[in-house]
């Protein structure tokens, strides 16, 4: 039996972070002979961010395994409907139902420690529509809430270089749920203080995903990169025959 070409792994980061959150995963994937793309997510709105990631995916020749961390899980839920996406991998992420928003999914469960550490800052919007609201994390709260098991010196850098998420992203309803038609895998970070692990479990179970649990903080890609790579490899092997 012939095998499909190796897929390109597209790594979608979450809120309050950037593509450097995959710094421990990317070299491991490259060492396994995989092509990797780690785009910068605008973090402005779920609809706009998903459209941007979908445009990146469409320009990649051949199959794609789409990986989303945290808010990036919501993004791949929508962008993953692209024809060349062969699998979805969620890392401590939001697996939304069609028509559901981040706020609605989170609202089903008790708040995590993140809720009390958020900062809201106005920013100007183009045109006559006024201002938007950026959401970020208090820098001193970032290390224990986001990455308690990652080197403190690194998390202090991440805390002051975080990319805010526009509040609009919490309100947008997902226009599609790619996990309904694409094979999906999910990693629960069981020591997560950013997204309640039960939010992760609920979304994954509802989607019928193959799921693993890892004792990790929210930034599982930095604290447990081998576990992340193993799950991505599982998705590749299961969908490339």
**What gap in Å lies between CA 158 and CA 181, rounded to an integer?**
35
- For the stretch 6-24, pLDDT in tens is 999 999 999 999 999 999 9
* pLDDT attached to residue 172: 98
| Inter-CA distances, 91 with 1, 79, 123, 125, 185, Å | 31, 16, 29, 31, 9
- For the stretch 50-61, pLDDT in tens is 999 999 999 999
Average pLDDT over residues 67-87: 98
- For the stretch 98-156, pLDDT in tens is 999 999 999 999 999 999 999 999 999 887 778 999 999 999 999 999 999 999 999 99
Phi-psi sector, 33: left (phi>0), alpha (psi -120 to 50), beta = left
The pLDDT of residue 2 is above 80: no
Average pLDDT over residues 25-38: 98
| Inter-CA distances, 102 with 45, 70, 93, 174, 187, Å | 11, 11, 11, 9, 18
């Amino acid at each position: 039996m012939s095998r499909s070409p190796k897929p390109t792994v597209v790594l979608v980061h979450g809120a309050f972070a950037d593509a450097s959150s995959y710094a421990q995963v990317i070299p491991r994937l490259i060492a396994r002979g995989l092509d990797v793309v780690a785009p910068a997510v605008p973090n402005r709105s779920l609809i706009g961010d998903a459209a941007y990631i979908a445009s990146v995916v469409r320009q990649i020749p051949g199959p794609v395994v789409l990986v989303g961390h945290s808010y990036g899980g919501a993004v791949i839920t929508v962008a993953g409907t692209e024809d060349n996406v062969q699998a979805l991998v969620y890392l401590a992420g939001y697996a939304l139902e069609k028509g559901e928003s981040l706020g609605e999914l989170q609202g089903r469960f008790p708040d995590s420690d993140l809720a009390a550490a958020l900062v809201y800052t106005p920013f100007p919007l183009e045109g006559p529509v006024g201002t938007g609201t950026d959401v970020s994390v208090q820098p001193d709260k970032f290390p224990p809430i986001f990455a308690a098991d990652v080197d403190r010196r690194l998390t202090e850098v991440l805390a002051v270089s975080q990319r805010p998420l526009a509040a609009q992203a919490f309100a947008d309803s997902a226009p599609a749920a790619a996990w309904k038609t694409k094979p999906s895998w999910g990693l629960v970070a069981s020591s997560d203080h950013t997204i309640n692990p039960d939010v992760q479990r609920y979304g994954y179970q509802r989607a019928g995903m193959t799921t693993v649990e890892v004792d990790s903080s929210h930034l599982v890609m930095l604290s447990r990169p081998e576990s992340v790579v193993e799950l991505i490899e599982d998705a590749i092997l299961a969908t490339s025959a």
